[in-house]
Structure 1
């Protein structure tokens, strides 16, 4: 053993003794920490010492034995060594350093809040933060997982805590403790950074990838944010309740991804159950329970699918055959083609059916399996998986076998004359017991005629016999056949069928992934290009406005004659759209905009039609009615954090009805949402001239009658109605060259 190795082992043994000492008495932490810091960051220090030092730092600041005040004092001395250790390349050292940084970040933040002149200390902490964040996406897996914990700690620190003094934990570090005029800590910049980091974490649930370690780490870090930070809890819960790893894996045929999805689903369900118990009284509790039930149902269906499509017990002979094939392929340099399937001799007789024509396998049990018992989705997935994995030579051989059988049947059938119906003289008119050939008292099924010939039903197994494949052009003309007309549905039956159809359509919409952001083509865009969520919403919106007016009028007339209550199909669709948007208005605001714009456009078309044709009955305008209803629904849950969503919603609406302005007035009088209300009024005054007068009338009334919002109202009046507040009117701006 080299002399250097012996010296390193001796030093580590001494350091371990020091560690044992501090574990027994935490008062020795400061002395030992100050003694080892120069050793582990020295240029001549070996990697074993640096690894031990990084572990000791992580243990020190996560130890419950050390008081918070003492940790803060020690953290100030560790910033420089941490910056040095972040330059290491070993995963273990970096993980320990990042864990230590996660522990000291709140300590340094609190220290800077009370020491406004310590710019150098904060710059060192910012350097550590920047270095760690740069490894969030580019580091190795273990380092990335440690970075996720650091990001969670940043979000906790750089977002506001509880606003109620009775609920404030004095030991908690958040933006709430930062003085408003702090020269170093910019509250708005820090909060914006925290929201940006949160979006980076939540994007992993929307990119369609199944990165199990990263997703699991993020899932485990979110409950603390939801429970302690009300400002961001809604955003997190909305993302979690829209995430379903089973739906992502269902599109893949890779077994590994399916296995990962089941593991992620279990973790996600555990997190949601924990959040449901912790927030049983919150408005999200019901939605969380519904999402847990949806996940459980999706997992059950997914398990059935996997067990039926991916698993098949092999017999001993098959296992040996598979093993021999595997070893043979390892020994041979070239691939040995799969032998063609066994040829089944099929003779053209009454027993020849489609099943025997297309059956390739020699396995009797498999050939008797009833495929019609499988769900349609499962059958489609099995078919696609088979088409992707089938060997090309085996497929061509199977097609050749079926083609040969079909040719033989055509040749044989051409030599057999078609059966002739019995002559009239052969049938006794008085014989009431006569039945057609086959001996069944029921009416025989009609033959199916196609381009290749005629198929007659086989009474034995409900399939069609291939008795004659001679082209029908060579046969005599068949007797005419009238299709039975289906009875008309009553208005109640129509309404029930429409309800079921709409339910299935909205179930489809909710399962679709959120489409990528794209430019809108306006009201002239095609409704169904890709059949994503936007396409379905567009189709439903146009059905509720321009698509069902004629049908509704016809069914309404029938219902009136029968004195029956009938809710129009368009009204049903509108109600379903409204309920769908209210289910999660923050993420479905685009659907609301698309639908309401269609309603406004349809109202304009109806008004033009009535103007051109004075005898036409004017329909009730729908835009203002449903726009007001949507606003009434979202105003109850609107928060100050929804500022961008709400203003964008107002900007994309073609008109603002008077009741909506009344709702915004209510926001202005709400102490917690007053800023949002006046911000909306300011936006409408600047960018919606048709409603400017109505808005300013409301603001003027608020200025006169409500002292608590007088300051906010005055700002708007100074700009648009200065004479109300005693200021001279502004002269209009002149245009032209000076």
Structure 2
């Protein structure tokens, strides 16, 4: 007999033994003592070890087995449990830790031998070492074990009238116990409690871990008065909403909403349990704060309070009040600043040329220290608030200053410019000022026919020389621009990342949707620099801009081709993360991007068919599936219109998306949404109708809980499947 058949046979017998124990628990000691050493041994099959760990967890958590019987079994199971803690499989570890949580109080109560406590201490040490590093499911089991340790190793009620004889706590341990050190055990319990409570102070939103700890704390608060104050103070200072309010990630805001609800339910439970206690009023106050923060908190990604002002944000009614003649008495514009005389010899620079204020402190302010967003806001606000007359007056003042500088420079004898070694025939008769070419110290005026001065290196006019053009006999002097060095792929990648970050910051600032009129068939893809325009630019940059449709890019070296692909993938990943940040309000951006991907795949296919070029990997199905997998965990019944509109705007539906919708159909809470999507696709997406009906037929045949919903679709499109119509030889009904 094969090894697999042997294991299956053993599991059949073990399951039969389990049924016997469930019917009559008195057989549990005999069965457990007979089979346990064989199925938890290191050389046993993993299926048998898994069954043994699960059976132990069921045995020690069963209320039908007496406490005395459990204690006797626990003494015989310490060694097998210690052996099973060396397993790597998550399922086995979870059951072993659950068993350890059940037997820890039993071993603690009946502690008489040092060897037994050493084995229990070894089990405890191994489990605590996995508290922060193991898999998530194992960590959840470790949290329950730590809760049991805290309950056991802290003092219980001191009043004999309130003591539960079945309760295990540090109170039952005598001060002169030969094995247990009361002070060390209590210190260990407080240290473990601090480790649990630290999760509420590190500013992270680890939903499974925080939820597990929250569910463990009420038992500690109600059962241990010595530590209840510390726990309640931490809980009343914790608010996940304030942590998520600073985040732009939709997932974290969704998690915070769930954690807030769990925290509020636990505080409500504690308030009812201690309605007359000293903390009742504080708990009620904290519950009200949580409700208030929840009402002010939106699960959608917050829009930036500081955003760039757009033209659509300007209310013309409000602006009319200050620009009309009737409001002259209400609004008095700031008088123009005194004119600053800019003379050629006072160190003129661009700063002094364009400075119009007489305030010395303001003129010395370094504007470059302001953030770009703030500087943009100030500039736009100033441009919108200033009157046209004042703006024209300021421009004329700068013009006059520049004219005075040019006029003054024409009368000042500058140093003769150094001519190039060779001049063309047109310039052979030119001798500046009639001077000898060898006289390098000639200080006479150098003015050409147009009256433009040749300025050079006169120190007294450093501020003016950059403002005065330098020409040679009425023509611009030859100037060669310095050729910039080629950037390395790493530098290009860094520059691309910085550019993308700035572009998406701009898109996020413009995230507020603006109602626009439809332009019809003559519309432009990006008529204005709003959010849709930026999304269009990025979508086309990631597809047609960097996809390499043109032969020039296709014929480049392989490393260049890979570099283009990496930049394109980087933009796509940024678009994907942007959509996932708030998919409900950014679904139109996803539609625009994915349509560009589909169109680019078609262009690639045509280009590859008409030439010998290697076609690039299609991207539409890949990213469409990723978007669907990202939004499916967060879809709710209320998202019906958004989801159906998203499906309607897509050119094709890949098979992976249909598989995800099938998963929706099997979800009890979202089953109607999944079948509604299938119905829509059957009616309005004929290319994918047969694939959809195949999935619906499979659901109707194999899943009884959704059979009625699947039958409604099959009655309309495949009535022969449900027996309403016969099917002819051609497959039609």
| Alignment TM-score, normalising by the size of structure 2 | 0.47
Of structures 1 and 2, the larger Rg is shown by 2
